[in-house]
Amino acid sequence: MQSELFIKNMVCDRCKRSVEHIFKKLNLPRNEVRLGEVSLPRELTPQETQSLAQALIQEGFELLEDRDSRLISQIKALVINYIQQADAPESTSLSSWLSQNLNKEYSSLSKLFSQVEGRTIENFHLEQRIEKAKELLVYNELTLSEIAFQLNYSSVAHLSSQFKKITGLTPTGFKKLGSKGRKPLDKV
């Protein structure tokens, strides 16, 4: 009987590798490790679950047990995927994409997210886009126009105004700071 576990703070490929390592170290079965979740070939015993929960906490993760927390974690992982890997076609809005992937009405997802997180999905999405822009600025491989295009901004001016609104700096000012202004994704 297959099952799934949901894990808070899994926001990047390095996090997936870290969780994979925890499972190997504890000799726990797993089928697949994805952002925010692990597919298992069977249910874990209570003792295995407790050991896993403790090991995850030591690495900055948390095992999610209630349904709402799991759904919030899934929303966050999907938003990050939407930005980081551009899994969704450009013509698909974030709200439609989330609804399709989670098989739920966007209005109910949005309401739950706002109640639990104290901010909207759109605000979380904007913060993630700005973090991605910061990452790309630090790499110094793309122009600001290319970054705006990659992140689906309508213009450089739009990216710059949102960047300044969120960070208090212009993209150029941030670039001068280097990586000092970046936040880990799980802190956004």
The encoded tokens of residue 51 equal 């050991």
- Is the CATH number 1.10.10.60 carried by domain 123-187? yes
Q: Where are the beta strands (DSSP E) in 86-163?
A: none
Instruction: State the average pLDDT for the chain.
Output: 87
Closest by Cα among 79, 181, 70 to 124: 79
Residue 188: its pLDDT value, please?
Answer: 52
Closest by Cα among 124, 32, 120, 129 to 84: 129
DSSP 154: S
For the chain, what's the residue count? 188
Q: Look-up: residue for tokens 């208090």? A: 168
Query: Could you say which of 1.10.260.40, 3.30.460.20, 3.40.630.30, 3.30.70.100 is the CATH number of the domain covering 3-65?
Result: 3.30.70.100
Residue 91: its pLDDT value, please?
Answer: 65
Buried residues in 37-74 as b, exposed as e (16+ CB within 10 A): bbebeeebeeebeebbbebbeeeebbbbeeeeebbbbb
Q: Where are the beta strands (DSSP E) in the chain?
A: 3-8, 32-34, 37-40, 62-64
Q: What is the C-alpha separation between 25 and 39, in angstroms, rounded? A: 17
- Same fold across 3-65 and 123-187: no
Q: What is the C-alpha separation between 8 and 72, in angstroms, rounded? A: 9
Q: What is the C-alpha separation between 40 and 37, in angstroms, rounded? A: 10
Alpha-carbon distances, residue 34 vs 39, 137, 158, 176, 181 (angstroms)? 8, 27, 32, 35, 28
Q: Is the entire prediction scored with pTM above 0.75?
A: no
Mean pLDDT by 10 residues, the chain (188 residues): 83 89 94 90 90 93 84 90 68 87 94 92 94 90 90 92 92 79 55
Provide the residue ranges of all domains of the chain, joining segments of one domain with +.
Answer: 3-65, 68-120, 123-187
